Amino acid sequence: MLNNFINELESLKDYSDFYSFIVTFYKLLEKFTSKVLSAGYLSHPDISLFDHSRITAALSLCFEEGDVDKPILMIKGDITGIQDYIYGELYKMENIAKRLRARSFFIHLILETISQYYLDKLNIFPPNILYLGGGHFILIVPNNENSRKLVVNLENEVSKKLIDSYLGKISFVQAFLELSEKEFIIDFEESFNKLENLINNKKRQKNVGILKELFLTEFHAAKIRDFNEKISSQEELLGKKLVKSKWILQVIYDPLQTFKISENLEPIPFEKFFTYYFLVQEASELENLITSNAKAKYISIINLNETNFLEIKGRKIFENIAFEYWFIGNYVPTNNNEVMSFEDLAKLESENYPLLGILRLDVDNLGAVFRFGLKEKELKEKKFTPSRVAYLSRELNIFFEWYINELAKKHSIYIAYSGGDDVFVVGNWYKILLFAKDLREEFHKFSSRNNYLSLSGGILFTKPNFPISQAAILAGEQEKMAKRTKDPLEKDRIGIFDVSFSWSDFDLYIQKAEQILEVIKTTNGKNKEELIPRSFIHSLLNLTKRSFDRMGRINVYEFIKSKNKILYQFARRKVTDNVITKENIVNGQKILNDALYNLALDFLRNPEPEEFYKKFQLTASIILYKTRR
């Protein structure tokens, strides 16, 4: 690895543009040192060399250029309205898959654009970004009179640009703290919490600094209609090209320059920030775009989900151009290089009964983990430090913006949004169950099976033509229901059919369905004694559902009636009390097949029948949907 690092470092020696060199060198360090211990001699080394080095570099700039008593300005910027923007106003179902993916990627681009705008205006560098992802960023800036004035103006400037560009669909808020060396390093936990409280208060006062401009701004219906049509066409183009693209070309112009480009090259424009992005599939197209933008102030070639980002460097045309890589959760199933529609997704393994599965999911108590979780029990070593927060944040981003693509590919899942700790995905109803199981298990491994760093989610099954914005809300309600526990530290659950499952129960009830499905598949009507008819499962489902009212509360009278009818249903299949109270073997032969025997035990010998009746809906639904003709 050291030789590879040296070889790639050699390729940077010809840079004459300092900022482009810094950006490229920074990403090279991330690639090779983000998994190297910063202090392997410690008893609990848990910070990477990369994160330790970048925080040290940022602080060095603050100590050199900041005020003596409070040299550090810690800034948090937050884009608000993300959920409404991504999921809202998707009324037309055509091309909805492409548009949904495009919207989530657009949020990624606007966050990158605003953070880059801050770096440029404040004359700072990528190491000064403590965290970026999930719709917000935290910067460490030298605190001096000039920086403070710029930061106050920047919030109003960015807010006004977003209003002008996106008619209030998304907004921007900012909070900052002036910190001494001690407040940032020794008392970082308190400072971090104070900044969080400030930004949460600012979210209730969006655009307060530009109220006068807002009142003077006219929003004509025709303007809004034209804007929506323009955005829709851009979303469809972006959603289509994103699947095929290997690179993103970022082009930033000086405000005094005019952006001009030939009509056949279609940028993703952020005109108010003088920034443009191009999705690129071929290296030859990169060369044409660089030639067309030769007078730009800054150009960066960004590899998507690929760390071999310097592989094309070396040709003269790429001199003084920055090279980077971004991780983004962008996998979508394709068919003939086209994004699969939701209708086609629903038919995967379910031709006879096409249904979509919608999954919303996030990390439980993540704010509490950052605020209170990074501590040593014996307090011998202070754990809540800038480096540890930066490291944990970056690692979470890698999981939810890169590794999640591997799981999505395995299960043919459409990633609508995955950033920070928030996930929204769409897929075939059965594949979404398996994906949810795998994602939780992989995250559990990622967290070293730390029970206090857990996931909770909600799943909704729906027809493919059901409005996606409404599906997102309903899946979110299932997620909230799953998180509604007596102990806030014992979430780690998944909600479906208005029932909250622990992840182990979720897995167990899927296994119950698979065992019964295997019997149905292997017997296929040949052995009537062992066959578990579909109608039998349907009857059991109806009887269990009757035992509860609309609020999910037990109805004792209906419960007793259903229990007696269930006894009768099993007795008809020679499942008697005598059979299930003894071994299921006579003279070396099984009386019942394992699936029917286990099902009988679940219904007739379960110590918690009410709980089983509720959760049986998952098992029954899988069987009925899978066997529908």
Tens-place pLDDT, residues 201-249: 988 877 777 776 766 667 677 777 777 777 777 777 787 788 788 999 9
Q: In this model, does residue 42 exceed pLDDT 80?
A: no
Residues 179, 180, 181, CA angle at the centre, nearest 5°? Answer: 120
Domain 38-240 and domain 334-496 have a common topology: yes
Q: Quick one: pLDDT at residue 457?
A: 95
| Least confident span in 374-383, 429-438, 473-482 | 374-383
Query: Which two tokens mark 123?
Result: 């004359």
Q: Is pLDDT at 417 greater than 60 in this prediction?
A: yes
C-alpha span between 400 and 406 (Å, rounded): 11
DSSP output for 320-380 = T-EEEEE-------EETTEEPPHHHHHHTT-TTS--EEEEEEEETTHHHIIIIIS--TT-S
Q: Is the pLDDT of residue 624 over 70?
A: yes
| Residue that wins the pLDDT comparison between 213 and 385 | 385
What per-residue confidence (pLDDT) applies to 107? 86
Confidence bin at 44 (pLDDT 50/70/90)? low
* pLDDT score at 91: 56
Mean pLDDT of 12-40: 91
CA dist 541 and 297 (Å) reads 65
Q: At residue 434, does pLDDT exceed 60?
A: yes
> Is the per-residue pLDDT at 262 higher than 70?
no
pLDDT at 452: 80
Let me know: does 341 contact 334? Beta carbons within 8 Å: no
Q: Sorting pLDDT into bands at 50, 70 and 90, what band is 27? A: very high
Give the tens place of pLDDT for each residue, 483-530.
988 776 678 999 999 999 999 999 999 999 999 998 877 655 555 544
Q: Span 115-139, mean pLDDT?
A: 93
Q: List the chain domain ranges.
A: 1-33+245-326, 38-240, 334-496, 506-626
Contact between 456 and 348 (Cβ < 8 Å): no
Tell me what pLDDT residue 368 has: 73
Query: In the 3-class helix/strand/coil scheme, how is 62-104 assigned residue by residue?
Result: HHHHCCCCCCEEEEEEEEECHHHHHHCCCCCCCCHHHHHHHHH
Q: What angle do CA 582, 588, 593 make, to 5 degrees?
A: 65
Q: Note the pLDDT of residue 25.
A: 96
What is the per-residue pLDDT for 501? Answer: 95
> Residue 360 — very low, low, confident or very high, per pLDDT cuts 50/70/90?
very high
Identify the CATH class of 334-496. Answer: alpha beta
Q: What is the CATH number of domain 38-240?
A: 3.30.70
Of 326, 332, 284, the closest CA to residue 309 belongs to 326
CB burial of residue 198 (10 Å; 0-12, 13-18, 19+): middle
- 457 alpha-carbon distance from chain centroid: 12
How many other CB atoms are there within 10 angstroms of residue 408's CB atom? 25
Please report, as a single letter, which amino acid is at residue 560: I
pLDDT higher than 70, residue 124: yes
Per-residue pLDDT of 399-410, as tens digits, reads 999 999 999 999
The mean pLDDT value for 324-342 works out to 86
Of 251, 456, 441, nearest to 365 by C-alpha is: 456
Asked whether the predicted pLDDT for residue 341 surpasses 90, the reply is no
Instruction: Dump pLDDT digits (tens) for 69-118.
Output: 999 999 999 998 887 777 776 655 556 767 777 888 888 899 999 999 99
* Mean pLDDT lowest among 122-126, 226-230, 297-301: 226-230
The pLDDT value recorded for residue 51 is: 93
The Cβ-side half-sphere exposure at 482, using a 13 Å CA radius, reads 32
pLDDT digits (tens, 9 = 90+) for 546-561: 999 888 888 888 899 9
Supply angle C-alpha 165, 168, 172, rounded to 5.
85
Percentage of the chain beyond pLDDT 90 is 46
Q: What is the pLDDT of residue 451?
A: 81
Q: C-alpha 563: how far from its chain's center? A: 43
